[in-house]
Structure 1
Amino acid sequence: MTVVPEPAPRTSRAGRNLPAAIAVGLVLLGVVGASLWFRDEPFVVLVAVAVGAGLWELRAAFARREIAIPIWPLMVGGVGMVVSAYVGGPEALLIAYVLTLAAVALWRVLDGPGPQALRDTVAGVFAATYVPFLAGFVVLLLPQQDGRWLVAIFILLAVANDTGGYIAGVLFGRHPLAPTVSPKKSWEGLFGSVVLTTLVGLVGVHLVLDLPFLPHGGAPLLGSSLMLGLVLGLMTAITATVGDLAESLLKRDLDLKDMGSLLPGHGGVLDRVDSMLFTAPFVYLVLSVATSGPAA
């Protein structure tokens, strides 16, 4: 009797299960869209859950190098940063961040001093900064005028960066961008990211913000949809690529392919949001300046 082997899952040139990656991506996009539809609070909860999952993945990753980050003060502080950002704005986010760092250091020192305590504390400070502090900048967009639409623009910019980079990389990728860190990334993929993020930025801000499309005399630099869309598109592609490469470098140092396995076709939560975390502060700053109006 001949046994016919089951076909292997279809994978992309990036080594991913492509159908699973697309399905999970669409589900995640739908969940984010649903959380933003009626009120702000469901999205805040979603960010807090993602922060907790990301911190848990970092805990497991660092454990491979015998580094034990103080996970519980990080979990409590991470949720505190997300909620503080929404309720109290940038100042509250900064205060919650500083309190979290103090709690991480105190928790670990009370567990025993020494060189290992220093390593664990430094790793805990990195975790607090990398995940909840950067994620807080996304939440800072919500209380602004048209805040949920601003968050939607940010999410769509991130999706455009990944999609444009993937398509251009698969079709035209010939020149590696950073071969020692992430061999699959190419300059052609980066160009594709710039093109699609710029297009999304132009359309998004023109539809959402009450700005003229073309700049006019005396208007602020970011006072037109054209300039704001171009800045958002270019900046998102650059910062998102830096975020991807930074996480790839971290995974290479930890001898990991993925940070987790929660999201089929994507890896872990951090594998999905790494570029978004790096991009969030810049998008928040640019959109805040653009929507604040001319100085008095």
Structure 2
Amino acid sequence: MDVIGIDLGATNVRVARIVNDKIVSISTAEIENTASAEDLINQIRMLISEEIESSVTAVGIGVPSVVDVEAGIVYNVQNIPSWKKVPLKKILEKDFNKPVYINNDANCFVLGEKYFGKARGCSSVAGLIIGTGFAAGLIFNNKLYSGPNCGAGEVGMIPYRDSIYEHYCSGQFFEKQKGINGSKLFELALDDDEDAQEIYNEFGTHLGNAIKAVLYAYDPELIVFGGGVRKAYQFFKDAMYKSMSDFAYKNSLNKLTITVSELDQIALLGAAALVLDNKTQN
């Protein structure tokens, strides 16, 4: 395999060349959220040009937005107001004469885990990204399920308490509910700060409730956590499982495995996995 993987993030865009399941080089540029759609497309073109070789067979792209997967049209990218409707697949295929596959970042995450990480060999997986947001990528019967509008797995938008799950099960909980930066909270917890641990206990309770919703809706055999908050798993794990203890179907709960991604470059690998998945399914 020799492909290009692209991660269009909130503050930067990264383009990697991936050969035989390993990242061999990465080019990065910061994103100006006030940039025009064409300026950002030109940034992406430049980074691809830095990485592409004649041996590259295809390009995979993960974006934090809703995607028309078949047409390769990207809609309403978070933190980039100018990207309302961008036919990115058509543009890049014309520029580089390579097949281009695009999907949202949560779907790329779960595919990355399926092909490169903890979900290898599993046929039913929910990949939960717990970062600045909260969303899931879903695999059923060994196939990625995006839904007809690329909206499947948007569990963060489900109503919860006075708001939605995302406000209680992502880094937003620490910032908005507790008034503390997630990185600072993690540092305090590592120093055995009791107040920090109590915040993580509360967070774990909310996350456990969200996982029950995921189990009732999707019944996966494996849940894999991604996103920056996953690094604090040791601090919210016990409260999370305690919150899940009243799940109605005990046998399903006993068969469930919950684990944490160990892939630091999962966004880029996940984008590359779009290419692998297309070959596998077709």
User: Do they fold alike, i.e. is TM over 0.5?
Assistant: no
Q: TM-score range by the shorter chain?
A: under 0.3
Q: Which structure is higher in strand share?
A: 2
Q: Which structure is higher in helix share?
A: 1
TM-score (norm 2): 0.28
